[in-house]
Amino acid sequence: MAIERITPAQARERSARGVPLIDIRDAHEREVAHATASRHVPMTALESSPISHVPDLHAPLMLICERGGRSLRAAQRLEAFGYTSVASVDGGTAAWVADGLPVERAEIDRDFHDRYSRHLRLPQVGLDGQRRLEAAHVAIVGAGGLGSPIAYYLGAAGVGTLTIADDDVVDRSNLQRQILHTDAAIGQPKVASARRAVEALNPRLRVHAFAERVAASNVERLVGEADVVVDGADNFAARYLLNDACVKLGKPLVYGAVHRFDGQASVFDAGRRRGDAPCYRCLFPEAPPPDAAPNCAEAGVLGVLPGVIGLVQATEAIKLLLGLGESLAGRLLHFDALAMRFRETRLRPDPDCAVCSPGREFPGYTDCETVCATPG
């Protein structure tokens, strides 16, 4: 026997007459918006023990989900259990809302709901997770090739506060890979250009722009308020300073680097996990000499490569903020663009590391003037 499929208006009329309307979506979906007078019974709970939720097998019953597919399947399963009068709302809650029927919503504004609707549908994020992102603060050092996708995607994801630090200005040669900037921004500070681009994408953000080169004298001021620090720098001096500051301050550092056709990324979380997770100095105790580290202008870089690595870094930052999945802590991810191949190297903390070994006092910052081998 075919399941009866009804319109939202029909469901509204029947609900007014006392026919139960059951919303079978997960809680994170329902809290965004749900039909007024609907009762919440998640699909898994309804299917595992239908009698405990709907004891009368012959009383009229309506099911609603997001767009109508799940409710139809659930109705078919209830029919197999012996229920004789189950209807499914065609188009689900989306159609109910589109038809202007009464809904109840969590206390969020329309811009928030519309802008982050795809995150709100993810059970791993939902409303609580999106609010955590909006309350979060990420510091990005570097507004170049890596910093561009990092800032764009963290801004798009709704990370509420971004600190962006870079002392450089936009050059025409940057535009091949530094997508935050446009031709009209040539000659302007990168942080000013970056701030305009990110705020244009998402005006809900707070962007703190610092036209400064990270140094021992300012590193804690630049990253001290951040929940996560992301390394988009173009020099080893910044990389070591960020590492040391994050160990001292107990913050995770999301690392990325690119060179010609190769890139790598990791998370250095020794500041929060002494003796368990490595820091950058565990991998590279000392910076290489300048002649072993050709910069971008000398070595060149495939324009899309910083985009790939920067997106990996943005992903890791979001995961850290939400407490999702397995971070790259203890793993160095390598990317070969020519072979289109990823591989991993396992990293272990150095028990004799000068900065992060357990029980070792912080040795202080050292400004290093080594030029970086990995372009920003």
97-to-14, 23, 43, 194 alpha-carbon distances in Å: 17, 14, 21, 37
Rounded CA separation 270/273 (Å): 5
> In this structure, what is the dihedral angle of CA atoms 184, 186, 188, 192, given to the nearest 10 degrees?
60
Catalytic residue, candidates 296, 353, 356, 372: 296
Residue 214 CA to its chain's centroid (Å):
25
Structure-block tokens of residue 21:
């309307």
Q: Compute the radius of gyration of the chain from its Cα atoms.
A: 26
Pairing of strands 21-23, 262-268: unpaired
Half-sphere exposure of 190 (CA within 13 A, CB side): 30
Alpha helices in the chain (DSSP H): 8-16, 27-30, 43-48, 50-53, 69-81, 92-98, 110-115, 117-120, 126-135, 147-157, 190-201, 219-223, 236-249, 280-283, 296-299, 305-322
Residue 368 appears among annotated catalytic residues: no
The catalytic residues are 296
